[in-house]
Structure 1
Amino acid sequence: MNPLDNPWYISELHIFLRLMLALLLGGLIGLEREQSKHAAGLRTNILVCLGSCLLMMLSIYGFSAFVDEPNVRVDPARLAAAVITGVGFLGAGTILFTGKSITGLTTAASLWVVSAIGLAVGAGFYFASSVTTVMVLLTLWAFNKLEKRYIRAKKEQLLKIEATDQAEILRSINTLLSDKQIVIRKMLLQEGEDDHDTGRIVLHFHILIPKSEPLFALLEHIKHLEGVHWVSSE
């Protein structure tokens, strides 16, 4: 049989072309992640895509010598399934829990998609892998712009305010925040712990502040309210 007509055969030229395409497509996504200062950047995405492509070709063509063996069953998808599982552990390393939020989910998802692109290139799905790369770049770049502008228009802050224990200060702070369209998510009132803090309270405000509102200006306004001793933000 002509090797070119054998579905279990691949030439060295096609091996090289598939690896180069995996490098290019993984690099395009990695470049976007690198510019956004994420943990998994250019080199990580290239390596994941290249490794996935190589394992896919190994899964399909690497055991071609055993195809005609009567007691051997060749499954081209077996190594591909193992790659997806392995990339899950790699993606978990990019996810961080900071106490207030979880970061790195998008980077972990991008690594998973990059591995799928590498598998697709290794299997010869050039059109599907190329279109997926364009869609991933569109999602990471264009949709990120839309999300920042329209969806994540407010950011959460924790304000700590030490003030004289009186109801008037609560009304003043509440009025100030309302005027600036700042949403109070949660409030905690804590009495002064030291002896010299008698008559003082520490207020903890979890707020949603519009990005158009400068945080420093807000702190200055609160600081100059009557009865406020100090204010800080986290």
Structure 2
Amino acid sequence: MRVYEVAVRLLLAIIIGGLIGYEREYQNRPAGFRTHILVCIGACVISMIQLYDVQKTVEMIGQNPQLSSALKADIGRIGAQVVSGVGFLGAGTILHEKGSVKGLTTAASLWVVACIGLAVGLGYYVLSILSTIAVVIALVSLKKFEAKFIDKTNLVKLEIEYMDKQGMVQMVNGYFEGKSIKIKNIEFLIEEVDGCEDGCMKSLYTILIPRHVRKSEIIKHLASIEEVMRVTVK
């Protein structure tokens, strides 16, 4: 492999990793611009090492035909280890926060960058460029489509302070049910409520809010209930 071919492949790996990494950096994700570039360069280098190994094996067999039965070159083995081994980086970008999992898209982008890096290193330029375009479309354009048309839920914790009257809990639960809000957990807190002497309670609701329901709308409705003293987002 000539020097200019190595330089071109490394440059293309930097550009591809940078394009995908920039989008992740812009979204303030754990693995961003430089991380994606490094992963892509590393996968590209591994691919070229495989090519060098194959070339060297062919040259040795050409010089010594009797070695043809002893020398073997597996062009896919090291690449397979890259594809599976990059998972440890992906695992590091996945965060568990307040009952929700974040970072799966970034982990997937790292994995696909490694795959594209292998393709660049092997010299499959058309495949590398078209797959990069596809990834950028998936990260940028399809994200807008997902936000607009695919219904998702948001996990929210609400602390409600209210007068301990009969049916208050059933009233709140009925409102959530009418709005298709799923109650994940209810905690009845044993704490003193400011501004209330007797008969006051404090509950912590963990709820899943559909995308079409506004959090402010929920808070406004709960606060309008006469028995409710305060609603706080945790």
Smaller-chain TM-score range?
0.7 to 0.9
Could you list the structure 1 runs, at least 4 aligned residues long, displaced by more than 6 angstroms after superposition: none
| Aligned partner letter, 1:31 | Y
* 3-state SS of 2:93 partner: coil
Q: Which stretch has the larger CA shift, 77-86 or 13-22?
A: 77-86
How many pairs are equivalent? Answer: 224
Conserved? CA contact 2:158–2:206, under 8 Å: yes
Structure-2 change in CA distance of 1:118 and 1:199 (3 Å): same
Partner residue, 1:219: 219
Are residue 200 (structure 1) and residue 200 (structure 2) matched? yes
Partner residue, 1:14: 5
| Aligned partner letter, 1:95 | I
Identity of aligned residues (%): 37
TM-score (norm 1): 0.83
Q: Which stretch has the larger CA shift, 34-43 or 204-213?
A: 204-213
Q: 1:166-191: CA deviations, max 9, x gaps?
A: 13433553565567x35243452626
Shift in Å, 1:222: 2.5
1:175-186 to structure 2, matched below 5 A, reads: 177=176, 181=179, 183-186=181-184
Q: In angstroms, what is the RMSD of aligned CA positions?
A: 2.6
Partner residue, 1:49: 40
Shift in Å, 1:223: 2.9
TM-score (norm 2): 0.83
Partner residue, 1:144: 143
Distance 1:154 1:66 in 2: 56
* 3-state SS of 1:167 partner: coil
Structure-2 change in CA distance of 1:63 and 1:184 (3 Å): closer
Unaligned runs of 5+ in 2: 62-66
Q: Which stretch has the larger CA shift, 199-208 or 19-28?
A: 199-208
1:1-234 to structure 2, matched below 5 A, reads: 10-62=1-53, 64-67=55-58, 68-69=60-61, 70=67, 71-170=70-169, 172-174=171-173, 177=176, 181=179, 183-186=181-184, 188=186, 190=188, 192-193=190-191, 199-211=199-211, 214-216=214-216, 218-234=218-234
Structure-2 change in CA distance of 1:191 and 1:197 (3 Å): farther
Structure-2 change in CA distance of 1:83 and 1:197 (3 Å): farther
Conserved? CA contact 2:176–2:183, under 8 Å: no
Conserved? CA contact 1:172–1:225, under 8 Å: no
| Aligned partner letter, 1:231 | V
Conserved? CA contact 1:156–1:206, under 8 Å: yes
Structure-2 change in CA distance of 1:103 and 1:191 (3 Å): closer
Partner residue, 1:7: none
